Amino acid sequence: MSDWVLATCACCDIKQKVRYRADDATKDPQCDQCAGHRGRNVETRIKRAEEHAAAWRDRCEYATRKATEYEDRMKSAYRSRDRAIGLLRRLHDFHQPNRRGCSCGAKDCRSVQVLEGAWLRDMLRRLAFREASERHRAGWWDDFDEVDDKLMETIYPNTSAPREIGTAG
């Protein structure tokens, strides 16, 4: 009785399911495809080489398709993350802390507490940097110093405004 086990075929060196008989434990496992091209004559050796090349080509094509699929899924996840962070940035624009509490008018705004977290500030900074870098690569700005200025304005919008004497912040 033979069982199917996951093993590396001794002939083509591809890890796959092979028939393996317990009473034939001294033999190296071979897949079904390789079992058909045993022999030492020239025609059999050529057939074996062609079949091995086709098998490896199929494996490479499959791996390339999967890599492309996973890369597309990864990029989609990044785009979703950036959209979510962008929405939080818009919400952040409506809820800026000020002397009276929040720019929305609430004295103790819970949105400000959430939106001022270190993680979100870091994500907003990274998103702003990615957007500024993309604009720079697209040729929107000629000088990278201008990118830095625009980036700082995006990340810290209230820091460039002159402060009144005697006010906090």
- Render pLDDT for 6-43 as a digit per residue (tens, 0 to 9): 777 777 777 777 766 666 655 677 777 776 777 677 88
> What are the extents of the domains in the chain?
2-63, 78-155
- Render pLDDT for 133-165 as a digit per residue (tens, 0 to 9): 877 776 655 555 555 565 566 555 555 444 444
**Beta strand residue intervals within the chain, DSSP E:** 2-8, 15-21, 97-98, 101-102
Helix (H/G/I), strand (E/B), else coil: 162: coil
Distance CA 2, CA 148 (A): 68
pTM of the model: 0.54
Beta carbons of 103 and 92 less than 8 angstroms apart: no
